[in-house]
Amino acid sequence: MVPEMPEGPAVPAMSRQWGLSRLDVNLPNVITLGRLLCVPLAIWLILGERYGLAFWVFVAAGVSDALDGWIAKRWNQRTPLGALLDPIADKALLAAVYITLGFAGELPHWLVILVVLRDLLIVGGYLLSHGVNAPEPLFISKVNTLVQIALIGFVLARLGLGVDEELVTSFLIAAAGVTTVWSGLSYLVRWARFLVRWN
């Protein structure tokens, strides 16, 4: 026997009953949350010198980043929560892996400091411009992010999968340093112009 359901607005839909609609919980956002949970896992694996597993976790996180964006666009599932969580998950993972590899002595400390300072600058600028139509990311920032990801992937592959090419690592470290400084200075100029116009 199927129980009768009361009529009217007293009984909301199942998603509302569990508060899902108010939290904007959908598949892309669940995938993004999963990527956020990869942060402590990656840290634990690197500190335990399980670099091969850390490499595959990093790869899986990258695939999930592309996947949640594709699903959100393909099925029109973009939400304010997703727009907030996605960059947080990306930056948290990159910063955490850089800091952990720096702590483990696998990346130079000066580069770790540059990467973290740049991200703090971007986050600070975003908060500053919040609600005032924040501008699109700079092209050099996109290049810098790609170089940072390539460096992490190569270092983890070198340590965990036996890929031995110090020259490539040195080149990527230099490229990451140059593009990080360039990106950071570009954002400083942008935010300075923004403040002048705002005032």
Q: How confident is the model at residue 7 (pLDDT cuts 50, 70, 90)?
A: very low
| Among 6-10, 158-162, 171-175, 187-191, the range of highest mean pLDDT | 171-175
pLDDT for res 130: 59
Domain residues of the chain, as ranges? 26-198
Residue percentage of the chain with pLDDT more than 70: 81
pLDDT at 189 over 50: yes
Helix (H) or strand (E) run with residue 133 in it: none
- 8 phi-psi bin (left φ>0, alpha ψ -120 to 50, beta other): left
pLDDT at 17 over 50: no
pLDDT at 182 over 50: yes
Burial class (CB in 10 A: 0-12, 13-18, 19+), 19: exposed
Q: Which two tokens stand for residue 60?
A: 């899986």
pLDDT for res 4: 42
pLDDT for res 19: 40
Q: How confident is the model at residue 187 (pLDDT cuts 50, 70, 90)?
A: confident
What would the 3-class secondary structure string for 9-71 be? CCCCCHHHHCCHHHHCCCHHHHHHHHHHHHHHHHHHHHHCCCHHHHHHHHHHHHHHHHHHHHH
**CB-CB contact of 54 with 5 (8 Å):** no
Residue 134 DSSP code: P
| Residue whose structure tokens are 């129980």 | 3
Q: Of 178, 179, 186, 187, which is closest to residue 121 (Cα–Cα)?
A: 187
**CB-CB contact of 82 with 72 (8 Å):** yes
pLDDT 10s digits, 128-151:
665 455 567 789 988 999 999 999
Q: Which two tokens stand for residue 158?
A: 């070198």
Q: Which two tokens stand for residue 50?
A: 């399980």
Average pLDDT of the chain is: 82
pLDDT at 196 over 80: no
pLDDT for res 47: 96
| 79 or 151, greater pLDDT | 151
Residue range 26-198, CATH number = 1.20.120.1760
pLDDT 10s digits, 46-65:
999 999 999 999 999 999 98
Kindly give, in sequence order, each residue whose CB lies less than 8 Å from that of residue 19, ignoring residues fewer than 6 positions away.
none
Integer angstrom CA distances of residue 34 from 30, 86, 88: 6, 11, 12
